[in-house]
């Protein structure tokens, strides 16, 4: 059976847009000045925030368990059941206690609450390629370019999920889960 490694944030969710919406609310809450550079990836470049403001924002997310409210991408939800019939699903996420009280438990509950079938869940992963190699993952799907590049360097078939912050990459990419399903079928 094929083994598929899948990132969570911005691969099966729209985490970045959720975070930006929450950051806008938080910026107003702290009396901020709004956007400095709307297209920046880092919040200290996007808003007029200090490193402490950014740290406090992530504490605010954690304390209010806001990331447990993320919605699953509709296209993912429609595809995952079919994929779990033909492959073992491994979720490999860098989610950590920076934004969660307990990333593993809260993410596992979130997957369960969303009726998502999977074989294993990994959180707090900085070197995803180590897990990919150890568990002999056949296909890896992520939105972060460096994670995909590390997987490719380990000779693992990799797809980059398109996002606003990776559009300049020339890696093999997909825009939605239907394209991934079609890729796997081939």
- Domain CATH code at residue 85: 3.40.50.1000
Domain co-membership, 63 together with 89: no
What's the longest Cα–Cα distance across the chain?
A: 53
Over residues 110-137, the pLDDT tens digits come to 999 999 999 999 999 989 999 999 999 9
| Residues lower than pLDDT 70 in the chain | none
Question: Distance (Å, rounded) from C-alpha 64 to C-alpha 166?
Answer: 29
Domain co-membership, 85 together with 150: yes
pLDDT at 152: 97
How many CB atoms are closer than 10 A to CB 39? 9
Domain co-membership, 123 together with 33: no
Domain co-membership, 163 together with 101: yes
pLDDT at 91: 98
Domain co-membership, 102 together with 125: yes
Domain co-membership, 119 together with 180: yes
pLDDT at 186: 85
Question: Distance (Å, rounded) from C-alpha 121 to C-alpha 92?
Answer: 6
Domain co-membership, 87 together with 176: yes
pTM for the full predicted model = 0.93
- The residue range of the domain holding 31 is 16-68
* C-alpha distances in Å from residue 148, one per residue of 6, 19, 71, 162: 11, 22, 24, 12
Domain co-membership, 46 together with 23: yes
User: Considering only CA atoms, which of 2, 10, 1, 16 is closest in space to residue 161?
Assistant: 10
SS3 2: strand
Residues in the chain: 186
Question: Distance (Å, rounded) from C-alpha 87 to C-alpha 4?
Answer: 7
Over residues 24-34, the pLDDT tens digits come to 999 999 999 99
pLDDT at 167: 87
Domain co-membership, 29 together with 95: no
pLDDT at 39: 84
Tokens of 22: 């929450």
Domain co-membership, 58 together with 41: yes
Sign of torsion, CA 41 113 92 183? negative
CA 53 to chain centre: 23
Domain co-membership, 148 together with 58: no
Domain count, the chain: 2
Domain co-membership, 135 together with 43: no
């Amino acid at each position: 059976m094929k083994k598929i490694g899948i990132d969570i944030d911005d691969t099966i969710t729209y985490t970045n847009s959720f975070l930006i919406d929450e950051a806008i609310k938080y910026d107003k809450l702290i009396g901020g000045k709004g956007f400095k550079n709307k297209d920046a990836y880092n919040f200290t470049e996007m808003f007029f925030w200090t490193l402490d403001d950014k740290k406090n924002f992530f504490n605010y997310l954690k304390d209010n368990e806001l990331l447990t409210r993320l919605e699953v991408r509709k296209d993912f939800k429609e595809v995952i059941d079919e994929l779990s019939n033909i492959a073992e699903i491994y979720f490999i996420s860098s989610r950590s206690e920076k934004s969660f009280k307990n990333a593993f438990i809260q993410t596992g509950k979130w997957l369960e609450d969303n009726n998502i079938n999977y074989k294993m869940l990994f959180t707090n992963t900085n070197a995803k390629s180590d897990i990919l190699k150890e568990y002999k993952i056949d296909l890896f799907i992520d939105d972060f370019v460096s994670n995909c590049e590390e997987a490719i360097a380990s000779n693992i078939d990799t797809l980059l999920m398109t996002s606003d912050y990776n559009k300049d990459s020339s890696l093999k990419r997909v825009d939605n889960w239907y394209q991934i399903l079609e890729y796997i079928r081939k």
